[in-house]
A and B are shown apart, each in its own frame.
Chain A
């Protein structure tokens, strides 16, 4: 049983009539990651996630959860999901909804219900019915329901929809804690890049039903940093010269003969100084990319960044 991947799809497609909502998707979510699934509205995010939860049958392709097919009941037990709006009975209280889900799963004791409600800041709601909840509270309740049974994988479809900044922050912090402390894998979709970028360790970018790129956060940051990259023949000497001539300079040695200089734009002068002092500058390039710009260009179809 290969459990390195929490979710793995192979050639996944879903066709509604003549239109393919999802086509030939090959997604891999490593266990322990927070996978940010980004795409425009209508790009097939929800459909894909619904298929991963077993709510929608794929037209083509396979999905495996922790090495087992998605139809396997035991594998599904390891997943907690919040798809679109939280499925809650409006005429019942938060606690009742949780108890119902706990019974549905077959949990053996109800202590975890109260623990999770407290974690999500909902234990004070008492007799308040769901229909009286604010949007943010409903979303938190949805996440609480997803956490029942201590799943290893959380699949969340736009969980911060409709939340105010405070609510977004709370959800984000809870998710990070769940990932770091409890080791949960989180597959989260959103069309808001800013929020996802604070959370995700790995990104999957979907456009018109196709996964156009899958990239880890480190590689993405590599592509997006704002610095001057110097390839020289003598890093040691370069380092000394930099300190000498620009006392306030901030640089890092990033390889055997490679340095990165931050917050510095006068590359010409710098290169000249180095050359004057006998350093062979193989290359001096400005690395500048805004995260948003990166994604926008990707969405527009710029294959150069793929």
Chain B
């Protein structure tokens, strides 16, 4: 397992898609930060109003709602709760795994490793590391932008930051495991990417949630990965704060185990 992990990491850091995806995330973070900055900052707000931009809220509303915006909030809005982060890592994951099958390199791996857990755990391990790097990286960009702008938005406490990043990491890892499952079943890049876009962005969950909501069962989907991620609190709040870890771990284990079973059953 460790050997496959090393192999995958070697490939990750030599692949273009890793850096491109990271670039996209950073870009979105910058854009989000930029827009919120422009709207909040009175001088720039006036500037864009002059250029004909229309704001649905007036100055005082904006002032009050954004007065206590922390960088964590920015970060959330930017990439995490909207699902951008999970979609991007999902797409990267799908491309990464399906490349093994498309190129036939999986033959090399499987001939040497009879135990399918080696492969599955190696992949999930890789994604855990990649997700961690993406989360940390994009957060640091937001932090940096805040520092550059002279601490425009409030800094969140260290405890809150750690809690948030850590719990988001758990959820995103579970999403990666889900994408891996899809790839194990379909072995197709197209299906994997489509799955990443539909599932990780919460599209499917939202649809199902509203359908089930008609029967009063919409609350089930509050436990889905997407909604857990979207509603992740920015500060540690006791018991409720453990939910993302439990949900994340549960789904992570579930998807990983099913992936292994599917992989073992099918011929290469």
Contact = CB atoms under 8 A, between A and B. Distances in A.
Note whether A and B contact each other (Cβ less than 8 A).
yes
Interface of A: 50, 53-57, 71-73, 76-77, 79, 81, 83-92, 96-97, 99-101, 103-106, 145
Contacts of B107: 53, 55, 81, 83, 87
Contacts of B268: 50, 55-56
Given A83-B107, A100-B11, A145-B108, A56 B267 contact: yes
Contact of B267 (A57, A71, A89, A106): A57
Nearest to A69: B114
A81 B104 contact: no
Interface of B: 3-4, 6-7, 10-11, 14-15, 99, 103-115, 267-268
B110 A54 contact: yes
Main secondary structure of the interface of A (DSSP, over half): loop
Contacts of B15: 91
Q: 10 closest pairs, A vs B, by CB?
A: A87-B104, A55-B268, A87-B105, A56-B267, A106-B3, A103-B7, A87-B107, A104-B7, A53-B111, A87-B108
Contacts of B108: 87, 101, 104, 145
Given A87-B104, A89-B105, A55 B11 contact: no
Contact of A105 (B3, B11, B115): B3
Contact of A73 (B7, B104, B105, B114): B114
A100 B112 CA distance: 13
A77 B105 contact: no
Given A53-B107, A56-B268, A104-B112, 19 more contacts: A53-B111, A55-B107, A57-B267, A71-B114, A73-B115, A76-B112, A77-B112, A79-B111, A86-B104, A88-B104, A89-B103, A89-B105, A96-B14, A99-B10, A101-B108, A103-B3, A103-B10, A104-B3, A104-B7
A88 B105 contact: yes
Main secondary structure of the interface of B (DSSP, over half): helix
A55 B264 CA distance: 10
25 contacts: A50-B268, A53-B107, A54-B110, A54-B111, A55-B107, A55-B111, A57-B267, A73-B113, A81-B111, A83-B107, A84-B104, A85-B104, A87-B104, A89-B11, A89-B99, A91-B15, A99-B10, A100-B105, A103-B3, A103-B6, A103-B7, A104-B4, A104-B7, A104-B112, A145-B108
